[in-house]
Structure 1
Amino acid sequence: MPWVLLIVASYLAGSIPFGLLLARVIRGIDIRQEGSGNIGATNVSRSLGKKWGLVVLVLDALKGYLPPLFLPGIVGLGGDTGPASEWVIPMSAMTTVIGHMFPIWLGFKGGKGIATSLGALGAASPWGLLVATVCFFGSFAINKIVSLSSLMALAGYLAFELICWQVPLAFRQSDGLQGATTPQAIMAIVLSILIVYRHKSNLARLRAGTEPTFFQKKTS
């Protein structure tokens, strides 16, 4: 039962549509009818201004970061030291991202998961977050395209986790290296699949050369 509670609570926390709620309160609009139609920080920034986009970015990141840290203790898994204990935080982190991408309140049509994933990484894999952040800003400094930079961050994070998962397996007996756990590696794979799936339209525009930069209005 504690695991069911953890998954349900994490999903519900991740499914809070901060972008949609903020747009309704601030401007009285449905953000899904504006710009790209996405409820995330990038579309809010284009539609309401960068200040409000930043607010949504922080809120979406927090809903990925806080549940994995606090919900396990609330549902009775915080002190678990058994074989499944390594799964507690990654499971909660993954489920918050799924909640953001597929919220029950919006017909399972949510955001693309970048900000929430960054928050989830902060809880489940701080070094992975650092690698993703460096990759994102390195790419963004060159192309100014949020979607492409997000996918570059995803690629860097996935590569980092898989390398850190495999290297200790090879040297564990000799050097005792510490690396990514199996749950962290699986989390990286799951998030990568989900984020690429949610960026299908962006990938199509990137191939066509029509994906807008962060400083352009997106109208379709």
Structure 2
Amino acid sequence: MGSIILILVLSYLAGSIPGSVWVGQLLYGVDVRKHGSLNAGATNVFRVLGWKAGVLSTIIDVGKGLLAAGVIASIRIDELPSGFAFWQVESVIRLLAGIAAIVGHMLPVWAGFRGGKGVNTAAGVLFAITPKTMWIVIGVFTLVLFSSRYVSLASITAALMFPATVAIRMFVFDIEALDRSLLLFGCIFAIAILYAHRSNIQRLVSGKENKVQNFRLAHGMRGRGEL
């Protein structure tokens, strides 16, 4: 159990790195949680500080998920619990590490437990586990984003698409042998993303959600002199 506890703690701490907050404060002297949507996620960094800060924040957030599920989950200080096949245990541990990182992103100990919604960090986790499935999900995200201009709608659709894609690949086409725990995680992940975006869903229904006005390189509120 020592390995699992260590993995969970380190993954949570890695997920707690508030990339968006630190990018804003250290590089621009701006706390993004006080501007735009008041959210500590990369989308709000794009909105407030522009594309350069937004891209950097996105890389950090995705990297946290990759680090947790791809690296930290491999740490061993004792034997893993017995009773399952090796690959099943490994899959579950990687998912647990990913969940800990996502929780850390949403409730970061380094930033007063005020974090983002976890979409980018979750994407990093899933890329580490099943990159082929994630490329399909990224394609859906991009299609919805460019057709609707709603980042929130694209995120919600992508979250729902992940477990659907895993199920189709596993049970319909039998393309890839994936642990069924990944399907369960995908369903939980989709529900969590829906809950995190509940205010966005309300604004989408009422027609008040913010749209991406254009897809040219954005300079953000700071670049427009609004800060």
State the TM-score, normalizing by the size of structure 1.
0.87
Moved over 6 A (4+): 77-81, 216-219
Q: Secondary structure at the match of 2:71?
A: helix
Instruction: Judge conservation of contact 2:169–2:175 (CA < 8 Å) in 1.
Output: no
Q: Which runs of 5+ in 1 are unaligned?
A: 169-175
Q: Which aligned pairs between 1:184-203 and structure 2 lie closer than 5 A?
A: 184-203=182-201
Q: Which aligned pairs between 1:97-112 and structure 2 lie closer than 5 A?
A: 97-112=102-117
Q: Which runs of 5+ in 2 are unaligned?
A: 215-219
CA deviation map 1:131-169 (0-9, x unaligned): 21011011011111110011111121121123334448x
Using the TM superposition, give the Cα deviation of residue 46 of structure 1 relative to its aligned residue in structure 2, in angstroms.
1.0
Of 185, 198, 208, 2:206 maps to: 208
Task: Say if 2:34 is the partner of 1:33.
Answer: yes
Cα separation, 2, equivalents of 1:51 and 1:70: 27
Partner of 1:171: none
Identity %: 31
Cα separation, 2, equivalents of 1:85 and 1:22: 34
The count of residues paired between Structure 1 and Structure 2 equals: 212
Instruction: Judge conservation of contact 1:77–1:88 (CA < 8 Å) in 2.
Output: no
Q: 1:73 to 1:85 in 2, by over 3 A?
A: closer
State the TM-score, normalizing by the size of structure 2.
0.84
Q: Which aligned pairs between 1:1-220 and structure 2 lie closer than 5 A?
A: 1-76=2-77, 82=86, 84-167=89-172, 178-215=176-213
Instruction: Judge conservation of contact 2:3–2:75 (CA < 8 Å) in 1.
Output: no
Using the TM superposition, give the Cα deviation of residue 214 of structure 1 relative to its aligned residue in structure 2, in angstroms.
2.4
Cα separation, 2, equivalents of 1:177 and 1:49: 40
RMSD: 2.5
Cα separation, 2, equivalents of 1:136 and 1:212: 17
Q: Secondary structure at the match of 1:138?
A: helix
Q: Secondary structure at the match of 1:16?
A: coil
Cα separation, 2, equivalents of 1:78 and 1:149: 41
